[in-house]
Amino acid sequence: MPRIEVYEGAQKIADVGLPEKKFSTGSVGYWASQKIEVNGRRYQCQFQMVEIGTKQPKE
């Protein structure tokens, strides 16, 4: 499972694992959602990686 590290300056504020996902479009990749705190404020973040060329043609 790929991981993404999120930094604010030099400080790591999140380490997010991205589980595999098959998107409704037919493409495949990875996706995750996580809440992180930046400068004392909370944010809902989404991370998405879609492999180019994986979308299946419509039959």
pLDDT digits (tens, 9 = 90+) for 2-56: 999 999 999 999 999 999 999 999 999 999 999 999 989 999 999 999 999 998 7
The whole-angstrom separation of Cα 22 and Cα 38 is: 30
Predicted confidence at residue 18, as pLDDT, reads 96
Numbers of helices and strands, H then E, in the chain? 0, 5
Predicted confidence at residue 12, as pLDDT, reads 94
Predicted confidence at residue 55, as pLDDT, reads 86
Residue bearing the bigger pLDDT, 52 or 59:
52
- Domain locations in the chain as residue ranges: 3-40
Predicted confidence at residue 27, as pLDDT, reads 94
Does residue 59 have a pLDDT over 80?
no
Residue entry with tokens 């037919």: 26
